[in-house]
Amino acid sequence: MKGRLLHQEPLSKYTSWRVGGPADRLYIPDDKADLCEFLKSLPKNEPVFWMGLGSNLLVRDGGIRGTVINTKGRLKEMKLLDDGSVYVEAGVPCPHVARFCTEQGLVGAEFLAGIPGTMGGALKMNAGAFAGETWNIVKQVETVNVLGQVKQRRPEDFKITYRSVKGLQDEWFLAAQLNLPQGDSLTSQLRIKELLEKRAKTQPTNQPSCGSVFKNPEGDYAARLIEQTGLKGHAIGGARVSEKHANFIVNINQATAADIEALIAYVQAEVKKSQGVSLQTEVCMVGDYCEVISG
């Protein structure tokens, strides 16, 4: 193997919330071929979890059993294919994809500039921002299974809904082909600039967060419901509901994953009580709870 295998590695170093216990094993692949070889070498029933930039993710304080594969800074190939589509590997940050498409004179991927994650994560959850959604521009995807075998799949192979993609069984996204129309590159660049300025103005981009915590209920906004309930600024431990954007929870003072999860549950309970709406989480919560030994 050409990649790096680390044991009992703290995942707080790899998550945008800066929280999370250790992974039994963390593998950082060298490239796609190396990753496939590594997967082939794993024991048959080894649990495998994938991470990109660690956004939209809460790793509990007890960490993750099994093997975590981290693609940050890896699986980063991106190119224009002969048919005009864009090939993007799973580790490429979404804002890089938006800029690359614009440079190629392609339009429709500008919204990706507002997603603080990788292409692999965007595919997994049908990430969206500023009225755009990932799978609306996907032509086909490349996946890898637990045996290290690469497969080609099309959008119709999955059940794709708002912030949800179902249909993968022991497979993970390796890459995507994006289908985008030609358009005005300058207009596209200005749109990206406008979106990034809006994001900086309305979201706490300078504080550790995971991005949006809750899904927007149909016809409404989670942030509006949370703000209406009077929860902006509410804190548990080192975690606080952002005063800049109510659908963000920020790590203000060495929060634990338990602080964040408790605040998520508190917000859900209070919004339900006050507004009669059950907020569903957008963030993925994984890993073991950490036993607290008193005395």
Enumerate the active-site residues.
163, 212, 282
Whole-number Å distance between alpha carbons of 263 and 239: 7
Cα gap 148→288, rounded to integer Å: 27
Give exposure, 101-140, as e/b (b: 16+ Cβ within 10 Å).
bbebebbbbbbbbbbbbbbbbbbbbbbbbeebbbbebbbb
User: Which two tokens mark 268?
Assistant: 């859900």
Tell me how far apart the alpha carbons of residues 160 and 62 are, in angstroms, rounded to a whole number.
31
Collapsing DSSP to helix, strand or coil, 102 comes out as helix
Report the distance separating Cα 130 and Cα 185, nearest Å.
19
Nearest to 250 by CA among 234, 228, 270: 234
Torsion, Cα 282 285 286 291, to 10 degrees, reads 180
Helix axes 94-103, 185-202, angle to 10 degrees: 160
